[in-house]
Amino acid sequence: MPQAPLGDWLNDFVTLFYPEWCAACHLPLVKGESLLCTGCKMTLPETKFHLDPDNHVARHFYGRVQLQGATALYFFRKGSRVQTMIHHLKYHDRPEIGVAIGQYYGYQLLQAAPYDTVDCIIPVPLHPKKEHKRGYNQAAQFARGLSLAMEKPYYKKYLIRKSFTATQTRKSRIERWQNVGEVFSLHQPRLLEGKHILLVDDVVTTGATLEACAQKLLQIPGVEVSVATIATAFTF
């Protein structure tokens, strides 16, 4: 009987004492599993909204901003495994979670209109101070994974957050629209002219930030915008 390579034995030995944990349910992963256990991969609540142009996320933006499409991979509920996974992504130095989710969802988006016509991917930016403190932008990690699966470039430098937006969600709809120019700015917008941009974030809650970013991008001649997030926290 052929013997397993030394590296496999070493990995099994290390895993015995330092097991990897599922990012969603926090149970130990078994051999062959990565990031998520098989149970979570099969049962996390996927929306399938990318297959329904008239889904709840898309409806949320009707009359607010002109989007080609809007979708989210998972339903988000407080105390859920999806919340645990996103919490690890944002606050436990686990950027690989965003990349893996992006790759998984990217392959699905390639099979559905209008996402199959996307030219590039842009994450909702963090304020530089906040990104420096966290070490990375979780939305950018999601964008990176989508880029790998969809074989489209993702850009971090063209949409810039100039100020914190903690009070953005407390503003009225009109005040949010008026505040767009104060919160976000564009860098070299001519390079994005005529592009179909997939704007991405981790969770869509009120939609205010995504709306503000989309409005800014739509100021560029010929630009179309679609939206995709890891999860939606809307209550239906």
Q: Rounded distance, CA 105 to CA 146, Å?
A: 7
Q: What integer is the mean pLDDT of 88-98?
A: 94
Span 113-141, pLDDT tens digits: 999 999 999 999 998 888 888 999 999 99
Sign of the torsion formed by the C-alpha atoms of 77, 79, 80 and 83: positive
What pLDDT, on the 0 to 100 scale, is given for residue 31?
83
Q: Is the pLDDT of residue 43 over 60?
A: yes
Torsion of CA 63, 64, 68, 72, to 10 degrees: -110
R_g of the chain, CA atoms, integer Å: 19
pTM above 0.75, yes or no: yes
- Residue (of 105, 80, 83) closest to 92 by Cα position: 83
26: pLDDT confidence band, cut at 50, 70 and 90? confident
What pLDDT, on the 0 to 100 scale, is given for residue 59?
96
Coil, strand or helix at 102:
helix
Structural domains in the chain, CATH included, are: 1-39 (no CATH), 44-232 (3.40.50.2020)
For all residues of the chain together, what is the average pLDDT? 87
Q: For the chain, what's the residue count?
A: 236
- Residue (of 56, 26, 35) closest to 231 by Cα position: 56
Q: Is the pLDDT higher at 199 or at 162?
A: 199
Span 96-113, pLDDT tens digits: 999 999 999 999 999 999
In terms of DSSP bridges, do strands 196-204 and 120-123 run parallel, antiparallel, or are they unpaired?
parallel
Q: Rounded distance, CA 5 to CA 11, Å?
A: 10
Span 173-232, pLDDT tens digits: 556 555 555 789 999 999 999 999 999 999 999 999 999 999 999 999 999 999 999 999
Helices and strands, number each (H, E), in the chain? 9, 6
Q: In the 8-state DSSP scheme, what is residue 55?
A: -
Q: Is the pLDDT of residue 51 over 80?
A: yes
What pLDDT, on the 0 to 100 scale, is given for residue 12?
45
